[in-house]
Amino acid sequence: MSDENIIARIRQGDESKLMAIYRAYRNDFIFWAMRHFSCNEEIAKDVFQVAITIFYENIMSGKLSKLSSSVKTYLFAIGKNKLHENQVARERDLKIQQFEQDKIKDGFQLENLEGETSEEKEGMYKMLEKALIELGEPCRTVLEMYYYQDLSIEELATKMDYKSTDSAKTQKYKCLTRLKKIFQESVLGIKNI
């Protein structure tokens, strides 16, 4: 049966054709994904499931009516794109985790001001407060919830209505980076006077 006939049968509701495609290419995809993307079997299985779902949705929506390649090539291309997205997200998460491991509680080493006078410490804390105000919303709230209220990333994502914990981590990282920049400019500005 040609690929166009398979697509037409799936569009007409013949789920047996979709299941046949699923069974025919699943193991090949899993092996290929694990080999080329260094992912584990569970991720490869999940991505293949997503590829099948997108394939089905594209057929049912009319977006896919004729293939310029084989069904296998089409599925693997979808899977390849999803695996690439997954890999980029994993790399971003590793960078964020590394940053989290390297940072000190507030990211500015204010707790380690040994040898500084109490006035100098107080001045640094005031500069941090000013930097937080200059930072603005929603960053100020994100950082205060995480660092001062000790909310977990999951709690922060929920309270701030982020789509996922990854979104919350990314936002917190961006906010902290901006705060550091504002704070450092403030410190350098005072020291250069």
Verify that 71 and 138 share a domain, yes or no.
Answer: no
Distance of CA 56 to the CA centre of its chain: 25
Verify that 173 and 88 share a domain, yes or no.
Answer: no
Predicted pLDDT at 132: 81
Predicted pLDDT at 109: 47
CATH number of the domain residue 76 falls in? 1.10.1740.10
Domain's final residue, options 52, 75, 101: 101
Verify that 58 and 126 share a domain, yes or no.
Answer: no
Domain's final residue, options 101, 131, 149: 101
Q: Which residue range forms the structural domain that includes residue 172? A: 110-191
Q: Which two tokens stand for residue 54?
A: 């997108």
Domain's final residue, options 101, 133, 149: 101
Cα–Cα distance, 109 to 148 (Å, whole number)? 15
Verify that 125 and 186 share a domain, yes or no.
Answer: yes
Verify that 125 and 183 share a domain, yes or no.
Answer: yes
Predicted pLDDT at 98: 55
Cα–Cα distance, 65 to 181 (Å, whole number)? 52
Cα–Cα distance, 163 to 10 (Å, whole number)? 32
Predicted pLDDT at 104: 41
Domains contained in the chain, number = 2
CA gyration radius for the chain?
A: 25
Report whether 25 contacts 75 (CB < 8 A).
Answer: yes
Cα–Cα distance, 76 to 72 (Å, whole number)? 6
Predicted pLDDT at 25: 97
Predicted pLDDT at 65: 85
Q: Which two tokens stand for residue 103?
A: 């940072």
pLDDT along the chain (193 residues), means of 10: 88 94 97 93 96 96 91 97 86 60 46 57 75 87 84 90 90 88 76 46
Q: Report the candidate in 124, 133, 140 with the shortest Cα–Cα distance to residue 187.
A: 124
Report whether 34 contacts 45 (CB < 8 A).
Answer: no
Verify that 13 and 96 share a domain, yes or no.
Answer: yes
Predicted pLDDT at 118: 63
Q: Report the candidate in 108, 120, 111, 118 with the shortest Cα–Cα distance to residue 190.
A: 120
What are the DSSP calls for 28-71, one per residue? HHHHHHHHHH---HHHHHHHHHHHHHHHHHHHHHTS-SS-SS-H
Verify that 43 and 121 share a domain, yes or no.
Answer: no
Verify that 115 and 91 share a domain, yes or no.
Answer: no
